[in-house]
Chains A and B, each alone.
Chain A
Amino acid sequence: MKITIAEVEHVARLARLELAEEEINLFAGQMDAILEYVEKLKELNTEGIVPIAHVEVLMGSVFPFREDAVQSPIGLDRALSNAPKPAGSFFAVPKVIE
């Protein structure tokens, strides 16, 4: 096992996930399997090959720009319509102290 329990806990905390102990063990095993597969892929010789995160690059598509022209906003009511607790024009959140 390459992935430690502490690493799973760390990643869970970064993702704001609360995991039960059996879940931690389960995910440690799964993450391990994923990394093992990545190790396998690393055996391939990729020298001289540019890393690509998008297939669009291979398709040679033109970059989709937007011109700097103002469009109508959706409006305050709609912006706040999904807020569990709006306060005036704001989204209300638990007090944030820096």
Chain B
Amino acid sequence: MKYQPVIGLEVHVQLKTDTKIFCGCSTQFGAEPNSQTCPVCLGLPGALPVLNRKVVEFAIKAGLSTNCSITPRSIFARKNYFYPDLPKGYQISQFEDPICQRGWLEIKLEGEEPKRIGITRIHMEEDAGKLVHGDVTGLDDGSGVDLNRACTPLLEVVSEPDLRSSDEAVVYLKKLHQIVTWLGICDGNMEEGSFRCDANVSVMPVGSDTLGTRAEVKNVNSFKFVKQAIEYEIQRQIDLIEDGGKVVQETRLFDPNSGTTRSMRSKEEAHDYRYFPDPDLVPLDIDNDWINRIRQGLPELPEQRRQRFVAELGLPDYDAEVLTASRAVAEYFEAGVEAHGNAKLVANWVMGEITRALNDRGTSIETCPVTPIQLAELLKLIDSGTISGKIAKTVFDEMWQSGKAPQTIVQEQGLVQVSDSGAIEAIIDEIMAANAGQVEEYRGGKEKVFGFFVGQIMKASKGKANPTVVNELLLNKLKG
């Protein structure tokens, strides 16, 4: 039998606020355990949570950018369960009436039609603390609890079960990641857990309209692992059904080392969260003025920008896609275009030399030592014929190393292109005299030798000879 996978994703987006969602403790990553805590996030009796306004703003931004409606009155609820990393014995979350509802994102796989993936809801909640095992705690037998992360603001973005393959899931996830980082509401760091994904996976016979029983796969913290975990889980369920077994609704943990998933919680701990409205937090009313102010302050989103790059700057689709991968790249590119004028040329350099240099050094465009203005100046030197495209790459590397202006480097190192035909002719004569044999070969019909001469001439001129002029003069002279 053929099976159709059905996938829905729950993504936890850690918000880039300075303080926690319900108290003024810092959210800075990497501090000494339990040093960023107070009675609220420690869950001490009598402490009252007070909502961080910025969390609501960020949630609205996320909702507006994913085509959601913003709930006029949203409610905070207590989700009750016991776990050592949860000091209050409940997590403040949203259950009925989350802040954003009924949105969608459009994804497009190569060679396929665009497809809308529904977003059921986005709600605000607090993170739990962190459990630490092993030597760092100094405990022989036991676990350590660090509550620095407790009460850190999260958005949970829940998709509809609209995804039909691991590839669709990854594309959707990347799109969501692009939007929240673009908006500046999340740093997007998956290794540090700022963007985490749980996948609900089920399979059903092709043509069926009854969804199969789903398993929830947790702990998938990279795009690669999301693909791996989903593919493993699909195959596990198919094998189970083919062997006459039944899929159990359960939580499974992905193990990145083996690429497999395993059952995580026993039946006794079956979900029974007994949600109820949190008496400590009154309903949150959001008026249209607030929503409109946030809407007006939204940046141009990646999709709009991509379309504008094609329509206004005349870039090919591929270039527009690459240059809107992140807001920083798009902004760098546009600043370059503004300073230079030729969008395609700037695009080639950003996608070529700059990307190569960034990758070589394992860094990102935010820390690029060559500014877009400097890049434009370099490209202008090519336009004016002062340097060749090849020399420009050398100058670019030097700019990266020293931070000097391109004009300075060209002058200091005498890299100005030689276009003067007299000077180039002299070099050509010299090379031809020294390689009389090859000249005969060329004249005898072996035209391949032409490249040899060009190479020798460029070498003799230290790369400074204008290649167009060289080609023209050389051809004339060889033809004699």
Write the residues of chain A forming the contact surface with B, with a CB cutoff of 8 angstroms. Answer: 10, 13-14, 16, 53-54, 56-57, 61, 63-71, 73-76, 79-80, 82, 87-96, 98
Query: How many interface residues does chain B have, given as a range?
Result: 35 or more
- Choice from B35, B39, B50, B282 contacting A56 with Cβ under 8 Å: B282
CB distance from A57 to the nearest CB of B (A): 6
CA distance A57 to B141 in the complex (A): 49
B147 touches A76 (CB 8 A): no
- Choice from B38, B54, B279, B284 contacting A73 with Cβ under 8 Å: B38
Residues on B with C-beta less than 8 A from A10 are 272
| B274 at interface, CB cutoff 8 A | yes
Write the residues of chain B forming the contact surface with A, with a CB cutoff of 8 angstroms. Answer: 17-19, 23-26, 32-39, 42, 44, 50-54, 56, 75, 80, 82-84, 131-133, 136-139, 141-147, 253, 264, 268, 272, 274, 276-277, 279, 282-285
Q: Contacts A65-B51, A79-B42; is A89 near B35 (CB within 8 Å)?
A: yes
Q: Contacts A68-B54, A88-B138; is A73 near B25 (CB within 8 Å)?
A: yes
Q: Contacts A66-B24, A66-B53, A68-B54; is A74 near B282 (CB within 8 Å)?
A: no
B35 touches A73 (CB 8 A): yes
- Choice from B33, B44, B277 contacting A89 with Cβ under 8 Å: B33
A68 touches B18 (CB 8 A): yes
Residues on A with C-beta less than 8 A from B39 are 74
CB distance from A52 to the nearest CB of B (A): 8
Q: Which residue of A lies closest to B81 (CB)?
A: A14
Residues on A with C-beta less than 8 A from B84 are 93-94, 96
- Choice from A64, A71, A90, A91 contacting B25 with Cβ under 8 Å: A71
Q: Contacts A73-B37, A88-B144; is A53 near B137 (CB within 8 Å)?
A: no
B147 touches A66 (CB 8 A): no
A65 touches B50 (CB 8 A): yes
B53 touches A65 (CB 8 A): yes
CB distance from B289 to the nearest CB of A (A): 14
Residues on B with C-beta less than 8 A from A65 are 50-53, 56
A96 touches B143 (CB 8 A): yes
Residues on A with C-beta less than 8 A from B52 are 65-68
Residues on B with C-beta less than 8 A from A89 are 32-35, 146
CA distance A63 to B24 in the complex (A): 17
Q: Contacts A88-B144, A90-B145, A90-B146; is A70 near B284 (CB within 8 Å)?
A: no
For the complex of A and B, list the 8 residue pairs with the smallest distance between their C-beta atoms, beginning with the closest: A71-B24, A90-B144, A53-B277, A89-B33, A68-B54, A91-B145, A65-B53, A93-B84
